């Protein structure tokens, strides 16, 4: 072997080793970091939702980052449950932080932010959003939360099997109106009749007028939907007004603060919610010293699904859009989740009932 050949072969061998080492490193290289914006109603009447949503997001990020340090970075902005404010926060994040994905809470804010997703090259995932067809404006817009027909439809079907007449009391915004319309459609398709629908505003404190109308109409049941401090007041004043109709509710009734504020007036009330996984509930309780709500569960699942996409697809807006669209039978805190062709999540539901101040599964 000549000296030239020896060194030539040695160099080729070293190059091969380096190449193999590099290829090996590429296979084991960690997935990229994902920045996630969260636009929540941190102040104002929707703050109770923001608190649980944030806790769910943080728990998921903590679990992921404990295994892959710094993998998920959450940045928060306050929408104040105001569409204009939500759009402003979204635009500011898109300009400065440039997150590839933003989680946006509540119907009115998501409705305003959603159409901006594509032009700002940001995937938007709505939660606590019941508004029908909210994902229509863009292929970059998703929802992981029950659409109005999900929540309102399930309780309306339950009511339709037991009652012939009903009334609806709903918060006067996109969330409440969509739920009211969904309840009426499903209840009346089952052969019932909605005798009247009564809206209310977040700042109202006196609902005697609504309850006097309902008492005069004498519906067999009343479904109350909404959120904020007014919600608890409505339920209490129904009992104080001696309305004899059976009270049905939405998932807001199951919030610990609502159960506490409503007191004995909540006992016996049936409402619809998502099924919360026991393991998730235990981890949540260990971290925060309280039980979770479905708002926390859906938020937790969004981050966990985004982490799967981060690992399997990547972190560009297009990769997140495509990867999130592919999610099927994801084992979440709120049960098995599949993203449908309309970018809405297919979710599971369950009926709950308050007994002695404690929400428990409804026994038929």
| Tens digits of residue pLDDT in 271-317 | 999 999 999 999 999 999 999 999 999 999 999 999 999 999 999 99
Locate the domains of the chain by residue range. 34-146+276-348, 149-273
Q: Is pLDDT at 70 greater than 70 in this prediction?
A: yes
Q: Is pLDDT at 15 greater than 80 in this prediction?
A: no
Averaged pLDDT score across all residues of the chain: 91
Q: What is the pLDDT of residues 312-356, one digit of tens each?
A: 999 999 999 999 999 999 999 999 999 999 999 999 999 999 999
| Between 280 and 20, the higher pLDDT residue | 280
Q: Is pLDDT at 32 greater than 50 in this prediction?
A: yes
Q: Is pLDDT at 8 greater than 90 in this prediction?
A: no
Q: In this predicted structure, what is the pLDDT of residue 364? A: 78
pLDDT range class, residue 19, cuts 50, 70, 90: very low
Question: Measuring CA to CA, which residue among 99, 122, 123, 124 is closest to residue 110?
Answer: 124
Q: Are strands 358-361 and 350-355 parallel, antiparallel or unpaired?
A: antiparallel
H/E segment holding residue 153: helix 148-160
Q: In this predicted structure, what is the pLDDT of residue 29? A: 64
Complete DSSP assignment for 201-266:
-TT----HHHHHHHHHH--SEEEEE--SHHHHHHHHHHHHTT--SEEEE-GGGGSHHHHHHHGGGG
Give yes or no for a contact between 354 and 268, defined as CB atoms under 8 angstroms apart: yes
Looking at domain 149-273, its CATH class is: alpha beta
Q: Is pLDDT at 16 greater than 60 in this prediction?
A: no
Least confident of 38-42, 191-195, 198-202: 198-202
Q: What share of the chain is helix, strand, coil (3-state, %, to 5)?
A: 50, 20, 30
Same fold, 34-146+276-348 and 149-273: yes
Least confident of 38-42, 191-195, 260-264: 260-264
Q: In this predicted structure, what is the pLDDT of residue 11? A: 45
Whether domain 34-146+276-348 has CATH 3.30.1490.100: the reply is no
Question: Measuring CA to CA, which residue among 189, 257, 245 is closest to residue 217?
Answer: 245
Q: In this predicted structure, what is the pLDDT of residue 130? A: 87
Q: Is pLDDT at 114 greater than 60 in this prediction?
A: yes
pLDDT range class, residue 24, cuts 50, 70, 90: very low
């Amino acid at each position: 072997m000549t000296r030239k050949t020896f060194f030539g072969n040695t160099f080729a061998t070293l190059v091969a080793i380096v190449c193999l080492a590099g290829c090996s490193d590429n296979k084991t290289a960690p997935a990229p970091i994902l920045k996630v914006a969260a636009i929540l109603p941190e102040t104002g009447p929707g703050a109770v939702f923001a608190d649980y949503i944030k806790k769910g997001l943080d728990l998921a990020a903590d679990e992921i980052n404990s295994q892959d340090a710094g993998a998920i970075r959450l940045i928060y902005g306050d929408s104040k449950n105001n569409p204009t404010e939500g759009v402003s926060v979204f635009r500011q994040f898109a300009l400065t932080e440039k997150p590839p994905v933003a989680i946006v809470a509540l119907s009115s804010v998501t409705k305003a932010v959603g159409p901006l997703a594509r032009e700002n090259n940001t995937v938007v995932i709505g939660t606590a959003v019941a508004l029908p067809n909210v994902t229509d404006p863009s292929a970059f817009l998703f929802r992981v939360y029950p659409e109005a027909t999900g929540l309102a439809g399930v309780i309306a079907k339950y009511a339709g099997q037991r009652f012939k007449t009903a009334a609806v009391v709903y918060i006067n915004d996109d969330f409440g109106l969509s739920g009211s319309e969904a309840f009426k459609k499903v209840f009346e398709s089952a052969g019932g009749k909605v005798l009247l629908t009564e809206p209310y505003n977040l700042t109202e404190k006196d609902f005697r007028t609504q309850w006097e109308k309902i008492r005069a109409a004498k519906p067999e049941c009343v479904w109350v939907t909404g959120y904020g401090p007014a919600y608890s007041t409505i339920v209490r004043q129904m009992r104080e007004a001696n309305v004899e109709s059976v009270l049905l509710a939405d998932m807001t009734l199951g919030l610990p603060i609502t159960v506490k504020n409503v007191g004995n007036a909540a006992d016996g009330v049936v409402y619809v919610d998502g099924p919360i996984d026991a393991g998730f509930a235990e981890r949540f309780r260990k971290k925060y010293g309280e039980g979770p709500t479905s708002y926390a569960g859906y938020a937790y699942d969004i981050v966990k699904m985004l982490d799967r996409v981060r690992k399997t697809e990547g972190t560009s807006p297009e990769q997140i859009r495509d990867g999130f669209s592919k999610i099927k039978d994801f084992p979440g805190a709120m049960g098995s989740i599949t993203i449908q062709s309309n970018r809405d999540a297919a979710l599971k539901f369950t009926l709950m009932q308050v007994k002695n101040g404690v929400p428990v599964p409804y026994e038929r």
